Amino acid sequence: MITHPSFDVRPWAVHESTLNPDALARTESLFALSNGHIGVRGNLDEGEPHGIPGTYLNSVHELRPLPYAEAGYGYPESGETIVNVTNGKLIRLLVDDEPLDIRYGVLRTHERTLDLRAGTLTRQLEWCSPAGNAVRVRSQRLVSFTQRAIMAIRYEVEPLDTTLRLVIQSELVANEPLPGGGGDPRTAAVLESPLLLEENASAPDGAVLVHVTKGSHLRVGAGMRHEVTGPGDVHVETDGGGDVARVTVTARVAPGERLTLVKYVGYGWSARRSRPAVHDQVVGALSAAATTGWDGLLAEQREYLDEFWSGADVEVEGDAEVQQAVRFALFHVLQAGARGECRPIPAKGLTGPGYDGHTFWDSEMFVLPVLTYTSPAAAADVLRWRHRTLPLAQRRAAQLGRQGAAFPWRTIAGRECSAYWPAGTAAFHINADIAHAVVRYLEATGDREFERETGFPLLVATARLWRDLGHHDVRGRFRIDGVTGPDEYSAVADNNVYTNLLARQNLNAAAELAVRHPDRARDLDVSVEEVAQWRDAAAAMYIPFDERLGVHPANEGFTDHAVWDFAATGAEDYPLLLHYPYFELYRKQVVKQADLVLAMHACPDAFTPEQKVRNFAYYEALTVRDSSLSACTQAVLAAEVGQLELAYDYLGEAALMDLNDLEHNTRDGVHIASLAGTWVALVSGLGGMRVRSGQLSFAPRLPSDLTRLCLRLRFLDRRLEVDIRAEEATYRLLDGEPLTVVHHGTTLRLGADPLTRPIPAMKAGPRPQQPPGRAPARRGAGD
Amino acid sequence: MITHPSFDVRPWAVHESTLNPDALARTESLFALSNGHIGVRGNLDEGEPHGIPGTYLNSVHELRPLPYAEAGYGYPESGETIVNVTNGKLIRLLVDDEPLDIRYGVLRTHERTLDLRAGTLTRQLEWCSPAGNAVRVRSQRLVSFTQRAIMAIRYEVEPLDTTLRLVIQSELVANEPLPGGGGDPRTAAVLESPLLLEENASAPDGAVLVHVTKGSHLRVGAGMRHEVTGPGDVHVETDGGGDVARVTVTARVAPGERLTLVKYVGYGWSARRSRPAVHDQVVGALSAAATTGWDGLLAEQREYLDEFWSGADVEVEGDAEVQQAVRFALFHVLQAGARGECRPIPAKGLTGPGYDGHTFWDSEMFVLPVLTYTSPAAAADVLRWRHRTLPLAQRRAAQLGRQGAAFPWRTIAGRECSAYWPAGTAAFHINADIAHAVVRYLEATGDREFERETGFPLLVATARLWRDLGHHDVRGRFRIDGVTGPDEYSAVADNNVYTNLLARQNLNAAAELAVRHPDRARDLDVSVEEVAQWRDAAAAMYIPFDERLGVHPANEGFTDHAVWDFAATGAEDYPLLLHYPYFELYRKQVVKQADLVLAMHACPDAFTPEQKVRNFAYYEALTVRDSSLSACTQAVLAAEVGQLELAYDYLGEAALMDLNDLEHNTRDGVHIASLAGTWVALVSGLGGMRVRSGQLSFAPRLPSDLTRLCLRLRFLDRRLEVDIRAEEATYRLLDGEPLTVVHHGTTLRLGADPLTRPIPAMKAGPRPQQPPGRAPARRGAGD
């Protein structure tokens, strides 16, 4: 399965043993480091060759016009797109005047390791220059979780055979040229030279550059500061100008000696603060980092991660790849959200320019579940960001003639950036997804301060939208017509089951909190009549059901549509959206990602067990998984209906999406939501974890290949461990007050002592069939 | 009602008694002359001031890129847009060195008359230059119906008070600057300098310019030739260069004397022929025109129109405005189609740049009905054009993964130019509309040659599309899901009644002709099995019906949607598409143009009389008529259900759409389909004319204000007159063999003698209500 022979499987690391120049862009994404505020792609220290150079600051974006051959009312005129900011990771090396460039000379060895416990990317290489001078280079970089403005690099060179004159050039470079975009509409727009220089200030051991983005007027500061150690006479000088600042270190170094550079890079940005303020912010961060020192930063990094893993690790026995993948996934999810601090989590995190750097609904529905149960403060921060953009969402709703809030389908700073309304504006479910994430967070944390200040206003604004968007028909059913659910192969349909179910939850949750916070309700002009309307709409919510087939149609009328002609669809015709017109996808029974299946996960009590079995089998036959978001949800429901081997196959697909580049676009950044889905597939899938009315429950079952699955998670200020084996599961409270949990329907009172319970047998039906050629790769030997 | 006080109402002319400089663009459209091949807007001879300068050759277009912020599979990358070709109508006058310009000096009188029997636009003015020199100018222009490459102008100047030196500059000018477009997406794209010069050749009395369009590589030739008569020494010289050619006439003219110029302008274009060939074509046409002479062209023009009116005129007594309007309408419809000769009829004819010069489905559904019964050869030509573009439509179908043909929603040369697929690609009904027009033409003419060579291949290709586009559901119903009907305020819906009914007719007609032309069927690979499939699909066609309301939903599920909040919609919110997002329009019960009502007109036997009454009343309450295509169809059904005064009101709206500029966009060209709708409202509406299975039938009834309505039309090589009064109707065969016609359900055998029959009384229900503020203006005193 590993398409990359240079990767090997390690439990706590991603290790690359040789460099594959053709896969550079992909490995840059996999080896990206981030703390949610700063993101740096795994570009080689010397900058070239590269796939896509990338350094990002969360929410630093540029505006670009959105053109329409035929415009329409309410179409966004301007889009936000991620900016490649000043590159601070550049360290060039001259070996007796010859630049280290792996395309020349002989690269004897090249190894890179992403260490998931240390939070570092290390690189070691031996290179022999065309003139025959060999050096060993070791570099290690981190983006600090504890000092959010700081990235740091330790760079060490050692001559192998003879004394050499070594020159290290450490740089800050803005407006790097970027490779052009492809024809795929999902590829990010390329922006040339988005940064205008405001300041280029040098110091003896460093420099500060301050730029402003041209259209969005965001001020970006980047600074560097160095510590050099080396033998004998080491000469350090600073120069630069324009978009470049450079510190040059020159020394003669003998074999056995080492020239070492520690580079601290600090970043800051602001839409409001002045150039001096941003300058000083960067310099201050650098001072703090230098005071901490390289070893101090390493120690802080490990301590931060130790704390994270203590409440988040997932141990998998019986599948080393999945073991590696889930830790890799958790690491990237943490990286994406750890220090965002009221900023969004983009679909690619800060690992690449894919999707223009936008965040989507999957932040709330796939990423936040992981953070809520492993790093809840990060989840709260993302929702606080949504709350901060509430005025924009309310303005958008007003533009659309709606009450309440209409959150953007895709955005960086809160403005709607979707230029295709049937899959953008019409996808109102984003609003219920945000509400769902609020409810989930509140159930998992009991955070009343958040509930009052952030959760309740979000629930009110979204509940108002739903009440306004739907209407009662003559039979008294509350209908939500003409909207698009998560499945992008249907659009602008009536009564999407997913949307209606989540809207119902949203309305009910808003009504409930209005009772609990009468003062806040008053502040928000929520009257008892309005609350009654929410309850009434929720109670009357229309959930279509096809009695003839005994399944829920994804949307009203869906099951009357023609089934896609899968037999006539070749492997080369996928993903379908690149080979068939939208109208054809929308009018047929074919599913990109099964939103009806996702509805069964998100609203487990809205379906009977029999309905789940029938629905799952029905949608399995229609779902092509052209979305990276699909497999994990299918794993969850496969497990719930007892299809454990199928669940395991889907788990494998979710887990290896990026490591094996299954969708061939990891080059543009890793799929944060699909990575999160690895955890979801294991915890909610094989672990059967749900929270029902605040009650944490599990229904663990393992596929035959896995001998053990041990989950750790945080819930209501406790850390909990669920240790699952084939026949039994052991529940362990790692800290905190006693807690009730449910094991396969039985309530357990969990205190200091672990409790072990047997796993009941389950008889599953025949394995559901997928469309021809679209079955997941078989992972297990089982069945 | 006449918003233009300078217009008066004449039965056979549109006469403007003073010039309103603010209404120039509108009058340029109204006074445009065309023969379907050449179109010239009613710009002032001297070129300025102008609203929009315009000279068009049918199908001469340029390509322009269609931008998409988010592209999708199958989106057209390039659009076709009408080109303002070389202006040959320009005649400037210098009066003792002062240019005639109505913005300077004193315009004492200015009259223009569009003569609907002569086929000319005449202009007469008296102007006193700033220096006090007064002249009278008379000009008359025509675009010849008989010599299709020719426009001609007679221009005469007469000093009024003193002898003057007069200089007439007659020009050909290419690449005239055009005014910029507005923000309305429907406004045509502005193209700057689309023509590349190939030749500028002068002769003593004229010149020829040959250009090529930059992107579409169409060669356009324009030539002029002059006859000058004047007193004494008249000096004529030719000069020019680049995009201009100029013939200058200089003379001293005394009061009572006249300087007269006859200008023949010839046009030719080709995608294939060489520069010399196009040049010679133009020169040849000019020779023929000069040989015919000005008086000869006038005589030919009148003769052509006499012949037309003899089988087309509609006399209206009791409403002089409608009398004028229907003749104005017929004249423009004739102009749009007369000599197109296998070219399309654009939505604006050749009267302006609106809609980019594209043709749409309304050509087949509104314009061709008029031509079919008044100038059937012109109708056949349009369908021959469709047939000629069949390979492009088949290629488009293949691109969309479809069988058969997918004709473009909007086009000039046959390529799909719609950049918004929900209202473009998804509006597959265009294909059934073409088939409907074929059937109508065949029923009206019995043209077997056309049937074999043109009609049958069109029906086969479109029937194949329908068979492929629909599917049988488990109940055996043949469904057509996810398409857009004519009403643009719904989109991408299942089982649009209009579409399904017309598709049914299309399938049945194709099956019928396959039996009649087995050899042609063989040529087209039509097997008996395929024909059986067409019949089967037609027989099983699903026509949804809302049993609860007793009405047909426009689309399946339509009547479950919320009714638009008309009470909250102000007059300034119309047209709705400029003030509300598409998603909101699509999900509500609100209708731009009532396609269900149009279905009742096009397929009269698919509905019971009771259903028609109920349906009409239901959709009246939902239809806002943001489309100029709506009123005439509502007039037809209002008349059928006995709402004669309402029918009369809608007739008035259709009739005055352009003359009174009801939609404020006549400036971009007249609405050919709405003009045609005037005839439809009178003939199919008040006359109750239908053709049912080849049988011509009438059910005439007059609203109280009209004392007489006398229709002439052509049917199966006969001319027929129906003379309708309040109590009776007289049928008269003007030539040809006896014919059966139906009068209010009674079959009459009509021979040499006229037959008079009484009109039966009808009891109508209450007048249906329209949305608040959207009732048509009351026209009659009746009710």
Residues of A noted as catalytic: 488
Q: Are A17 and A6 in contact (CB under 8 A)?
A: yes
- Does position B504 have pLDDT exceeding 90, yes or no? yes
Flag if A582 and B66 touch (Cβ within 8 Å).
Answer: no
Query: CA of A363, closest CA in chain B: separation in Å?
Result: 21
Just give the CATH number of B7-289: 2.70.98.40
Please enumerate in sequence order all residues whose Cβ is within 8 A of that of A132, keeping only pairs 6 or more positions apart, or say none.
none
Tell if the CB–CB gap between A491 and B491 is shorter than 8 Å.
Answer: no
From A185, A494, A586, residue closest to B71, measured CB to CB: A185
pLDDT at A192: 77
H or E element that contains B136:
strand B134-143
Q: What is the pLDDT of residues B682-697, one digit of tens each?
A: 999 999 999 998 999 9
Encoded tokens for B130: 């700033």
Mean pLDDT of A46-56: 96
Asked if A70 lies within 8 A of B420 by C-beta distance, the reply is yes
What digits encode the pLDDT tens for the residues B300-338?
A: 999 999 999 999 999 999 999 999 999 999 999 999 999
Closest CA of chain A from B353, distance in Å: 16
> Judging by beta carbons within 10 Å of its beta carbon (0-12, 13-18, 19+), is residue B257 exposed, middle or buried?
middle
Chain A residues closer than 8 Å to B586 by CB: 482, 492
Mean pLDDT of B505-517: 98
Within a 10 A sphere around the Cβ of B547, how many other Cβ atoms?
A: 6
Section A502-514 average pLDDT: 98
Name the pLDDT band for B178 (thresholds 50, 70, 90).
confident
| Exposure on the CB side of residue A444, measured as CA atoms within 13 A | 26
Cα-Cα-Cα-Cα dihedral of A357, A360, A362, A368, to 10°? 80
Q: Does the structure show a pLDDT above 90 at A341?
A: no
Q: B365: number of CA atoms within 13 Å, CB side?
A: 22
CB-nearest to B72 from A67, A68, A581 is A581
B63, B66, B73: which to substitute to probe chain A, counting the most A Cβ within 10 Å? B73
Is B183 a residue whose pLDDT tops 60?
Answer: no
pLDDT of residue B5: 58
Q: Contacts of residue A418 in chain B, CB cutoff 8 Å? A: 70
Chain A and chain B share a number of CB contacts under 8 A equal to 141
Active site residue B488: yes
Tell me the pLDDT band of B741, cut-offs 50, 70 and 90: very high
Query: Given pLDDT bands bounded at 50, 70 and 90, which one contains residue B84?
Result: very high
Identify whether the C-beta of residue A61 lies closer than 8 Å to the C-beta of residue A413: yes
Closest residue in A to B481 (Cα) is: A587
CB contact under 8 A, B548 and A479: no
pLDDT-based confidence at residue A782 (cuts at 50, 70, 90): low
Residue A189 above 50 pLDDT?
no
Comparing CB atoms, the residue among B69, B418, B586 nearest residue A492 is B586
Q: Taking chain B, what is the end-to-end CA distance rounded to the nearest angstrom?
A: 20
Residue B758: Cβ within 10 Å count: 10
What is the Cα–Cα distance from A32 to A690, expressed in whole angstroms? 32
Tell me, what's the pLDDT at B669? 97
**B73–A68 C-beta distance less than 8 A:** no
Instruction: Search chain B and give the residue with CA nearest A568.
Output: B401
Average pLDDT of span B139-160: 98
Cβ–Cβ below 8 Å for B69 and A560 = no
Chain B's closest residue to A79, CA to CA, is B69
Token pair 């819906």: residue: B493
List pLDDT tens digits, range B708-727.
999 999 999 999 999 999 99
Q: Which residues of B touch A492 (CB under 8 A)?
A: 422, 491-492, 583, 586-587
Provide, as residue numbers in chain B, all residues whose Cβ is less than 8 Å from the Cβ of A426: 583
CA–CA distance, B766 with B783 (Å, rounded to integer): 10
With a CB cutoff of 8 Å and minimum separation 6, the contacts of A412 are A59, A61, A80, A81, A82, A344, A346, A356, A357, A358, A359
- Chain A: nearest CA to B560, how far in angstroms? 6
CB–CB contact A79 B66 (8 Å):
no
pLDDT single digits (tens) A646-700: 999 999 999 999 999 988 899 999 999 999 999 999 999 999 999 998 999 999 9
State percent of chain A over pLDDT 70.
97
Q: How does residue B782 score in pLDDT terms, banded at 50, 70 and 90? A: low
Residue A767: DSSP 8-state: P
In whole angstroms, give the CA distance from residue B435 to residue B452: 14
| Tokens encoding A228 | 């050099």
B-chain residues within 8 Å CB-CB of A72? 185, 420, 577, 581-582
For residue B4, what pLDDT is reported?
58
Grade residue A184 by pLDDT with cuts at 50, 70 and 90. very low
pLDDT reading at A190 higher than 50? no
Q: Which residue of A has its CA nearest to B474?
A: A560
Question: Reading across the β-sheet that carries B244-253, which strands appear in turn?
Answer: B98-99, B91-95, B164-173, B244-253, B235-241
Choose the mutation target among A488, A561, A564, A587 for the interface with B, i.e. most B CBs under 10 Å: A587
For residue A687, give the nearest of A746, A729, A719, A716 by alpha carbon: A729
Which among B72, B419, B492 has CB closest to A69? B419
Q: What is the pLDDT of residue A334?
A: 98
Q: B548, exposed or middle or buried, with CB in 10 Å at 0-12, 13-18, 19+?
A: exposed
Q: Is B362 known to sit in a ligand binding site?
A: yes
Region of residue B492 (left: phi > 0; alpha: psi -120 to 50; beta: else)? left
> Quick one: pLDDT band at residue A185, thresholds 50, 70, 90?
very low
B583:A72 CB<8 A: no
Q: Are residues B79 and A73, on separate chains, in Cβ contact within 8 Å? A: no
The yes-or-no verdict on residue B182 having pLDDT over 50 is: no
Average pLDDT over residues B222-227: 98
For residue B232, the 8-state DSSP code is S
Q: Does domain A7-305 have CATH number 2.70.98.40?
A: yes
Task: Check residue A232 and give its pLDDT.
Answer: 87
pLDDT digits (tens, 9 = 90+) for A253-306: 999 999 999 999 999 999 999 999 999 999 999 999 999 999 999 999 999 999
Report the pLDDT value the prediction gives residue B616, as an integer from 0 to 100: 98
User: Which of B185, B580, B583 faces A426 most closely, judged by CB atoms?
Assistant: B583
Would you state the pLDDT for residue B479?
98
Count of alpha carbons within 13 angstroms of residue B197, beta-carbon side: 15
Kindly report the nearest CA distance between residue A473 and chain B, in angstroms: 6
CB atoms within 10 A of CB B417: 27
Assess contact for B388 and B405: CB atoms under 8 A: no
Chain B residues inside the 8 Å CB shell of A74 = 580-581
CA distance A335 to chain B (A): 29
Read off the pLDDT of residues B240-279 as tens digits, 9 standing for 90 and up.
999 999 999 999 999 999 999 999 999 999 999 999 999 9
Instruction: Compute φ and ψ for B683, nearest 5 degrees.
Output: -80, -50
pLDDT band at B190 (very low <50, low <70, confident <90, very high): very low
pLDDT above 60 (res A187): no
Report yes or no for ipTM above 0.85: yes
What's the mean pLDDT when you consider all of chain B?
95
* Given the residues B80, B488, B556, B640, the one annotated as active site: B488
pLDDT at A340: 87
Burial of A196 per CB tally in 10 Å (0-12, 13-18, 19+):
middle
Is B592 annotated to bind a ligand? Reply is yes
B593 is in an annotated binding site: yes
Whether the CB-CB separation of A247 and A236 falls below 8 Å is answered with: yes
